[in-house]
């Protein structure tokens, strides 16, 4: 058994590409080996800013030998066929072939080709250059004199050296013999760029790892992250502060250094007037530093942590001071933006308060929200109207909801948000407070984006809820109207998140909203817009036919009639399209709701059973599901479900003979002869009445209870009565009784959609 | 202070802005670069100099270095921001083909101006460069010194719509930032320009503060919008006319690329001023950028038919 050590040493690899590259390298090489019959014991890949490393342990030194049989022509076949066979099998003459007999007794030639497995070293020399040449970097480049040649080597940044050694643990490994882009694979790597730049000869992974450690390179990114996090917490603790943890930033900085050294810097406390989120965004985005907070107050401290790549000769004083200067400069910029946003906007100074001026600019700039969905200004108008309409349904003041919706997007043109998009909403709120907007309006500006993810808080205040729902519904309906739905893993406009957000807001606040109704109302204008366009075409057509009338009055009339008929049909098609898309969006909500319920351990098949009734009020859907779930857990419920299924199966079979809907008439009393028929009929009438009344009162438990009384009569009916009587009238009447049972049960849910039982 | 001490300080990259520039000039001259003077037009960055844009195209080897005054009208802050200027200096190095030891050369140049790698944290942080107006892109990094971006390091892949073959390496040093770093000052206007002390000391502010104030007013408030729109259209038309003139009667050779390219630069600067005046909407912005890019690409294509590109 032998081990492979592969290292691709280059100029600095972008941090964000490192993890994927390490995973890709491992997969590509191991897959190629396995494909060639070379299995291995273990494989691990590593990455630093300057190297991509793969260690494969326990590879055989040769491929297994391969034996292949190749069937040839029958004995005595024409010469041409024999020659073709010899050539394809690589035989010199028929003497080298076997003669076999098939089942029918015919004789044919057989070639047995035995291929000795190649040495793994040679297999590696063949596959490694191909993998390097076709490596799936998100963006690769050319460099140097070679770059003038066609098909030159591309890599993420210039590649300088390759280590590729292969051999058993006990012996000096061999170098995998290959060369690519003028770089010959060897056994030389280099240490830390500044602290140990000299060449290092390596043999296999363990001495390689040790040598790199001594040359100030921590190879494993997970270890670099651990070191950084640990040192950050220690330094923070020593100052009585707390690290504001940031997983994304941690991964990034671990990809920027080979030898992490955490240092603390500081900035002037007067910058703490800037909102904390802006300070954090500034320091994070531009300087890739961590911020700290006071554990007592939760407020940011005027200190930060940076991760440097060197042990400096002065212990890091100059580095910390230098970073401090840059952070101060960045914060002066942020302070400038923050102050500018609160002042008058040139050319818009007469458009009201500062945020209103920004809104005026947003409108004036005609910033496109989406090519087919118009400008941000148009969107603001739609959300305002919708928020106003939503307000009474969620207990909010309509004027406040409309005002919040009006200002909700104004911060998109502020300087701070222009610089740090991640603080959108928060800045709108802050500026709204500063210009004296009502507290509920200001909060809604921030909270209307919520929830941003499954674990984010949902907005709680009524005005926030109205605007949050309006914003999300507008987005969803808009994208559905233009048929830009999420597919597979692609959801560029985060529509799934918007739908899930609406579901959470509605359910967690117990809001009564007829979703289907709202969607239908909103989707219409999009088609009305298309209709205006259509109308234009009609007028154009009629005009052009009027011109044509100079030539022939008769033809004109025919033409315009046909044109109008065509338009009418297209209009009908579009009407159907509106209904289809609205229904499709509602189904999308149902699917999201299913995910939501499943995550909470509810049975999602019950959603299908309830949704099939056409219910579009989420709160009602969920209380029905809850009542149903409880009901099905009782003996009465389980038994009734079984009875329902039995009735349903019989009906399905008989409807095949008599046609769908053949038994939907109310059964007739005078065709009942068995006692159990009378009992069931009476029970059904009562259950339908009681369940109906309970449903009117939104008392689902009550409705279920009413239905539960059917259990004994149904069981009795199936015990004693033969449905498919030879008497056609009796048969029909009994089937009608079962159809009534089905209708009664469908009052609460479509039991046929329920699984199990 | 003696005369010779003064001479040393006025040339010291750690004491004077001019010393920093002269040190870089000497460094790159010793590395075999042609030391050019700034291009005599208003440009947004050193890349616009034809010694970079056009010379990076074609197969002829090329090494050059120069200071380029750069104008970014929108970055004006009326002289009130310690870090932002609407007029500043870039030091530009272009090496074709990119040498294998370009990173080492760059670090050596930092050492020459007094940035000690044993004391400072120098980092190559991903920054893919793209100039939509020039139809150019490349891969490389921002070079950080103790968290401050002091240079831009790019391997050109495409310029003016033409694939670079071979690839050039481009280094762009932000001179003011670098000088602030090595001089240890927090405000650009406090930079010592000539390295002298007392009465003889000249600061960056002495030289440029008034200009920053006046040009900020000009860029944001006064520049005549109608005139600028006219400048843009005239430059665009002239660029096209000159390119047409230069290709008369010969498909293989072009005879008027450089003057045409000047007009492309003019159009770009007019656009930058209009942008600073805030009179270009988001959608229009795209179309203006596209118009400048079309000019740049036409110039690039024409350059490929000249001796400069190795024809």
- Measured between CB atoms, which of A15, A144, A322 is closest to B166? A144
Residues paired with A485 in a beta bridge: none
Contact B124 A11 (CB under 8 A): yes
- The label of the residue with tokens 């730049």 reads A197
Q: Where in chain B is the domain with CATH 1.20.58.180?
A: 224-309
Count of C-beta atoms within a 10 Å radius of residue B171: 24
Cβ proximity of B307 and B255 under 8 Å: no
Contact A11 B103 (CB under 8 A): yes
Q: Which residues on A lie below 8 Å from B183 (Cβ)?
A: none
Q: Give the least confident one: A39-53, A164-178, A376-390, A536-550.
A: A536-550
Provide DSSP, A16-38.
Answer: HHHHHHHHHHHHHHHHHHHHTT-
Cβ proximity of B50 and B81 under 8 Å: no
For B185, nearest residue in chain A (alpha carbons): A325
Q: Which residues on B lie below 8 Å from A322 (Cβ)?
A: 120-121, 145-148, 181
Strands A174-175 vs A179-180: parallel, antiparallel or unpaired: unpaired
Provide DSSP, A640-668.
Answer: HHHHHHHHHHHHHHHHHHH-TTTT-SPPP
Instruction: Tell me if chain A has a CB within 8 Å of the CB of B108.
Output: no
* CA separation, residue A595 to residues A500, A591, A619 (Å): 9, 6, 16
Contact B220 A15 (CB under 8 A): no
Question: Using CA atoms, how far apart are residues B262 and B50, in angstroms rounded to an integer?
Answer: 9
Q: Which residues on B lie below 8 Å from A333 (Cβ)?
A: 81, 83-84
Cβ proximity of B269 and B43 under 8 Å: yes
A182 dihedral zone (left: phi>0; alpha: psi -120 to 50; beta)? left
* Alpha helix (H) residue ranges in chain B: 3-11, 17-30, 50-53, 102-112, 175-183, 204-217, 225-246, 257-276, 282-303
CA A77, A81, A83, A89 torsion-angle sign: negative
- Say whether A11 sits in a helix, a strand or coil: coil
- Measured between CB atoms, which of A157, A306, A364 is closest to B139? A157
Interface of B with A in 141-170 (CB under 8 A): 141, 145-148, 155, 157, 164-167, 169
Question: Using CA atoms, how far apart are residues A319 and A287, in angstroms rounded to an integer?
Answer: 13
Give residue A65's pLDDT.
87
Per-residue pLDDT tens digits for B17-67:
999 999 999 999 999 999 999 999 999 999 999 999 999 999 999 999 999
Count of C-beta atoms within a 10 Å radius of residue B311: 14
Contact A319 B123 (CB under 8 A): no
Cβ proximity of B183 and A325 under 8 Å: no
- Say whether A47 sits in a helix, a strand or coil: strand
For A330, nearest residue in chain B (alpha carbons): B83
Task: Please determine, for residue A560, whether its predicted confidence score (pLDDT) is greater than 60.
Answer: no
Going by C-beta distance under 8 Å and a sequence separation of 6 or more, which residues neighbour residue A270? none
Q: Which of B121, B188, B189, B279 to mutate against chain A (most A CBs within 10 Å)?
A: B121
Contact B148 A346 (CB under 8 A): no
Give residue A535's pLDDT.
55
Return the exposure string of A18-45: e unless at least 16 CB atoms fall within 10 Å of the residue's CB, then b: beebbebbbebbbebbeebbbebeebeb
Q: Which of A13, A18, A141, A375 to mutate against chain B (most B CBs within 10 Å)?
A: A141
Give residue A753's pLDDT.
86
Instruction: Tell me if chain A has a CB within 8 Å of the CB of B82.
Output: yes
Instruction: Tell me if chain A has a CB within 8 Å of the CB of B222.
Output: no
By C-alpha distance, which of B165, A725, A404, A313 is closest to B155? B165
Cβ proximity of B276 and B220 under 8 Å: yes
| B192 min Cα distance to partner chain A (Å) | 18
Count of C-beta atoms within a 10 Å radius of residue A294: 13
Give residue A537's pLDDT.
60
Cβ proximity of A484 and A369 under 8 Å: no
Q: Give the least confident one: A47-56, A201-210, A300-309, A566-575.
A: A566-575
Return the exposure string of A195-215: e unless at least 16 CB atoms fall within 10 Å of the residue's CB, then b: bbeeebebbbbeebbebbeeb
- The label of the residue with tokens 């046609």 reads A659
CA B182, B183, B184, B186 torsion-angle sign: negative
Question: Using CA atoms, how far apart are residues A395 and A459, in angstroms rounded to an integer?
Answer: 14
Count of A–B CB contacts within 8 Å? 131
Complex ipTM tops 0.90: yes
Q: Exposure of A690 by Cβ count < 10 A (0-12 exposed, 13-18 middle, 19+ buried)?
A: middle
For B80, nearest residue in chain A (alpha carbons): A336
Structure token pair of residue B219: 């860029």
Strands A300-308 vs A261-266: parallel, antiparallel or unpaired: antiparallel
Contact A347 B278 (CB under 8 A): yes
| Mean pLDDT value of segment B284-300 | 92
Structure token pair of residue A464: 């926030």
| Mean pLDDT value of segment B265-278 | 92
| Mean pLDDT value of segment B233-257 | 93
Task: Please determine, for residue A558, whether its predicted confidence score (pLDDT) is greater than 60.
Answer: no
| Mean pLDDT value of segment A308-334 | 92
Q: Which residues on B lie below 8 Å from A12 (Cβ)?
A: 124-126, 141
Per-residue pLDDT tens digits for B208-218:
999 999 999 99
Q: Which of A9, A11, A336 to mutate against chain B (most B CBs within 10 Å)?
A: A11
Question: Using CA atoms, how far apart are residues A327 and A59, in angstroms rounded to an integer?
Answer: 51
- Helix, strand, coil shares of chain B, percent, nearest 5, are 45, 20, 35
The fold of B224-309 is Methane Monooxygenase Hydroxylase; Chain G, domain 1 (1.20.58)
| B144 min Cα distance to partner chain A (Å) | 10
Q: How confident is the model at residue B4 (pLDDT cuts 50, 70, 90)?
A: confident
Give residue A369's pLDDT.
76
Q: How confident is the model at residue B282 (pLDDT cuts 50, 70, 90)?
A: low
Task: Please determine, for residue A549, whether its predicted confidence score (pLDDT) is greater than 80.
Answer: no
Please state, rounded to an integer, the average pLDDT across all residues of chain A. 88
Going by C-beta distance under 8 Å and a sequence separation of 6 or more, which residues neighbour residue A498? A472, A475, A476
Q: Which residues on A lie below 8 Å from B116 (Cβ)?
A: 313
Task: Please determine, for residue A556, whether its predicted confidence score (pLDDT) is greater than 70.
Answer: no
Provide DSSP, A251-311.
Answer: HHHHTT-SS-EEEEEE--GGGGGS-HHHHHHHHHHHH--EEEE-TTT-PEEEEEEEEESS-
For B148, nearest residue in chain A (alpha carbons): A326
Strands B62-71 vs B34-35: parallel, antiparallel or unpaired: parallel
Structure token pair of residue B259: 């003057």
- For the sheet containing A107-115, what is the strand order? A66-74, A107-115, A98-101
- Measured between CB atoms, which of A142, A326, A364 is closest to B157? A142
- Helix, strand, coil shares of chain A, percent, nearest 5, are 55, 15, 30
Task: Please determine, for residue A643, whether its predicted confidence score (pLDDT) is greater than 70.
Answer: yes
Q: How far apart are the first and last CA of chain A?
A: 56
B245 phi and psi, to 5 degrees?
Answer: -60, -40
Provide DSSP, A202-222.
Answer: --SHHHHHHHHHHTT----HH
Give residue A199's pLDDT.
97
Give residue A552's pLDDT.
47
Cβ proximity of A118 and A59 under 8 Å: no
Q: Which residues on B lie below 8 Å from A323 (Cβ)?
A: 146-148
Exposure of A168 in the CB half-sphere (CA atoms within 13 A): 6
Q: Where in chain B is the domain with CATH 3.30.930.10?
A: 3-218
Instruction: Tell me if chain A has a CB within 8 Å of the CB of B225.
Output: no
| Mean pLDDT value of segment A366-371 | 72
Structure token pair of residue A585: 């969006």
Task: Please determine, for residue A545, whether its predicted confidence score (pLDDT) is greater than 60.
Answer: no
Contact B97 A144 (CB under 8 A): yes
Give residue A523's pLDDT.
81
Per-residue pLDDT tens digits for B163-215:
999 999 999 999 999 999 899 888 999 999 999 999 999 999 999 999 999 99
Contact B141 A12 (CB under 8 A): yes
Q: Which residues on A lie below 8 Å from B105 (Cβ)?
A: none
Q: What is the DSSP letter of A315?
A: T
Task: Please determine, for residue B79, whether its predicted confidence score (pLDDT) is greater than 80.
Answer: yes
Of residues B300 and A754, which shows the higher confidence score?
B300
- Measured between CB atoms, which of B116, B117, B282 is closest to A366? B282
Per-residue pLDDT tens digits for A16-41:
999 999 999 999 999 999 999 999 99
What CATH code is assigned to B3-218? 3.30.930.10
Give residue A530's pLDDT.
56
| B289 min Cα distance to partner chain A (Å) | 17
Task: Please determine, for residue A202, whether its predicted confidence score (pLDDT) is greater than 80.
Answer: yes
Give residue A544's pLDDT.
57
Of residues A566 and A635, which shows the higher confidence score?
A635
Q: Which of B61, B83, B138, B146 to mutate against chain A (most A CBs within 10 Å)?
A: B146
Question: Using CA atoms, how far apart are residues A522 and A519, in angstroms rounded to an integer?
Answer: 5
Q: How confident is the model at residue A88 (pLDDT cuts 50, 70, 90)?
A: confident
Question: Using CA atoms, how far apart are residues B17 and B21, in angstroms rounded to an integer?
Answer: 7
| A325 min Cα distance to partner chain B (Å) | 7
Per-residue pLDDT tens digits for A235-254:
999 999 999 999 999 999 99
Task: Please determine, for residue A688, whether its predicted confidence score (pLDDT) is greater than 50.
Answer: yes
Question: Using CA atoms, how far apart are residues B50 and B309, in angstroms rounded to an integer?
Answer: 12
| Mean pLDDT value of segment B77-96 | 94
Question: Using CA atoms, how far apart are residues B76 and B107, in angstroms rounded to an integer?
Answer: 31
By C-alpha distance, which of A75, A52, A47, A59 is closest to A4? A59
Please state, rounded to an integer, the average pLDDT across all residues of chain B. 93
Q: How confident is the model at residue A538 (pLDDT cuts 50, 70, 90)?
A: low
Task: Please determine, for residue A548, whether its predicted confidence score (pLDDT) is greater than 60.
Answer: no
By C-alpha distance, which of A56, A54, A26 is closest to A41? A56
Question: Using CA atoms, how far apart are residues B203 and A94, in angstroms rounded to an integer?
Answer: 96
């Amino acid at each position: 058994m032998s081990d492979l050590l592969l290292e691709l040493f280059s100029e600095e690899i972008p941090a964000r590409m490192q993890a994927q590259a390490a995973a890709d390298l491992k997969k590509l090489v191991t897959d190629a080996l396995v494909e060639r019959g070379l299995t291995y014991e273990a494989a691990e890949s590593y990455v630093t800013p300057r190297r991509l490393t793969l260690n494969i342990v326990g590879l055989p030194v040769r491929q297994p030998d391969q034996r292949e049989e190749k069937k040839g022509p029958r004995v005595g076949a024409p010469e041409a066929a024999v020659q073709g066979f010899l050539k394809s099998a690589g035989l010199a003459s028929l003497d080298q072939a076997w003669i076999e007999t098939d089942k029918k007794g015919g004789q044919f030639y057989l070639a047995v080709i035995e291929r000795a497995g190649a040495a793994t070293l040679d297999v590696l020399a063949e596959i490694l250059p191909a993998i390097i040449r076709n490596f799936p970097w998100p963006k690769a480049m050319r460099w140097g004199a070679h770059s003038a040649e066609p098909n030159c080597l591309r890599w993420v940044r210039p590649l300088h050296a390759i280590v590729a050694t292969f051999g058993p643990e006990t012996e000096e490994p061999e170098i995998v013999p290959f060369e690519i882009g003028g770089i010959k694979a060897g056994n030389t790597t280099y240490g830390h760029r500044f602290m140990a730049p000299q060449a290092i000869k390596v043999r296999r992974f363990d001495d390689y790892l040790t040598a790199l450690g001594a040359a100030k390179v921590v190879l494993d990114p997970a270890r670099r992250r651990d070191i950084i996090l640990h040192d950050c917490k220690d330094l923070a603790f020593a100052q009585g502060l707390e690290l504001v943890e940031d997983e994304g930033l941690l991964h990034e900085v671990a990809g920027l250094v080979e030898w992490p050294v955490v240092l603390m810097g500081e900035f002037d406390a007067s910058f703490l007037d800037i909102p904390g989120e802006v300070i954090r965004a500034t320091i994070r985005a531009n300087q890739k530093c961590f911020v700290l907070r006071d554990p007592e107050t939760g407020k940011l401290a005027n200190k930060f942590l940076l991760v440097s790549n060197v042990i400096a000769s002065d212990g890091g004083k100059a580095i910390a001071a230098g970073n401090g200067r840059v952070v101060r400069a960045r914060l002066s910029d942020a302070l400038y933006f923050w102050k500018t946003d609160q002042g008058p906007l040139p050319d818009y100074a007469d458009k009201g308060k500062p945020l209103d001026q920004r809104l005026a600019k947003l409108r004036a700039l005609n910033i496109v929200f989406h090519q087919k969905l118009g400008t941000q200004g148009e969107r603001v108008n739609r959300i305002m109207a919708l928020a106003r309409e939503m307000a009474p349904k969620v207990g909010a003041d309509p004027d406040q909801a409309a005002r919040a919706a009006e200002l909700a997007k104004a911060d998109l043109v502020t300087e701070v948000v222009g610089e740090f998009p991640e603080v959108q909403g928060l800045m709108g709120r802050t500026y709204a407070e500063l210009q004296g907007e009502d507290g509920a309006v200001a909060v809604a500006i921030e909270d209307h984006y919520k929830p941003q993810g499954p674990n984010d808080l949902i907005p709680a205040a009524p005005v926030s809820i109205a605007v949050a729902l309006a914003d999300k519904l507008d987005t969803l309906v808009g994208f559905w109207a233009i048929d830009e739905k999420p597919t597979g893993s692609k959801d560029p406009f985060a529509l799934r998140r918007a739908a899930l957000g609406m579901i959470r807001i509605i359910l967690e606040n117990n809001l009564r909203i007829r979703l289907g109704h709202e969607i239908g109302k909103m989707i219409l204008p999009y088609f009305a817009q298309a209709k205006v366009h259509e109308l234009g075409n009609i007028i154009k057509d009629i005009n052009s036919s009027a011109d044509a009338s100079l030539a022939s009055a008769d033809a004109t009339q025919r033409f315009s009639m046909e044109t109008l008929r065509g338009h009418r049909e297209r209009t009908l098609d579009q009407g159907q399209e509106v209904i289809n898309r609205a229904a499709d969006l509602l189904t999308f909500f149902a699917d999201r709701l299913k995910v939501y319920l499943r995550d909470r351990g509810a049975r999602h098949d019950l959603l299908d059973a309830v949704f099939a009734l056409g219910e579009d009020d989420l709160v009602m859907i969920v209380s029905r599901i809850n009542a149903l779930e409880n009901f099905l857990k009782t003996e009465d419920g389980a038994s009734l479900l079984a009875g329902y299924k039995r009735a349903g199966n019989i009906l399905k079979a008989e409807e095949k003979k008599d046609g769908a809907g053949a038994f939907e008439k109310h059964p007739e009393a005078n065709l009942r002869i068995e006692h159990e028929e009378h009992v069931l009929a009476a029970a059904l009438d009562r259950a339908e009445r009681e369940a109906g009344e309970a449903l009117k009162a939104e008392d689902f438990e009550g409705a279920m209870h009413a239905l539960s009384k059917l259990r004994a009569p149904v069981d009795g009916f199936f015990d004693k009565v033969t449905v498919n009587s030879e008497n056609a009238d009796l048969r029909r009447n009994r089937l009608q009784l079962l159809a009534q049972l089905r209708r009664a049960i469908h009052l609460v849910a479509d039991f046929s959609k329920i699984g199990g039982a | 202070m003696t005369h010779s001490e003064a001479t040393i300080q006025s040339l010291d990259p750690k004491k004077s802005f001019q010393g920093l520039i002269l040190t870089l000039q000497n460094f790159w001259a010793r590395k075999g670069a042609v030391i050019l003077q700034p291009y005599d037009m208003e440009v947004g960055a050193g890349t616009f100099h034809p010694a970079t844009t056009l010379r990076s195209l074609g197969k002829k080897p090329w090494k050059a270095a120069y200071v380029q005054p750069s104008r970014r009208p929108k970055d004006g802050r009326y002289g009130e921001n310690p870090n932002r200027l609407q007029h500043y200096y870039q030091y530009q190095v272009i090496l074709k083909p990119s040498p294998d030891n370009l990173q080492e050369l760059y670090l050596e140049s930092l050492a020459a101006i007094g940035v000690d790698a044993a004391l400072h944290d120098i980092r190559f942080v991903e920054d893919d460069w793209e100039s939509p107006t020039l139809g150019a892109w490349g891969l490389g990094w921002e070079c950080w010194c103790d968290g401050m971006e002091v240079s831009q390091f790019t391997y050109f892949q495409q310029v003016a719509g033409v694939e670079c073959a071979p690839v050039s390496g481009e280094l762009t040093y932000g001179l003011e930032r670098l000088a602030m770093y090595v001089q240890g000052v927090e405000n650009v206007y406090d930079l010592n320009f000539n390295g002298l002390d007392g009465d003889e000391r000249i600061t960056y502010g002495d030289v440029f503060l008034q200009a920053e104030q006046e040009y900020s007013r000009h860029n944001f408030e006064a520049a005549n919008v109608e005139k600028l729109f006219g400048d843009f259209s005239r430059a665009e038309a002239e660029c096209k006319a000159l390119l047409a003139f230069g290709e008369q009667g010969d498909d293989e050779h072009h005879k008027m690329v450089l003057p045409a390219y000047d007009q492309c630069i003019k159009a770009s600067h007019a656009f930058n001023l209009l942008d600073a005046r805030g009179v270009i909407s988001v959608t229009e912005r795209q179309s203006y950028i596209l118009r400048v890019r079309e000019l740049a690409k036409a110039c690039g294509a024409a350059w490929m038919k000249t001796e400069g590109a190795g024809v």
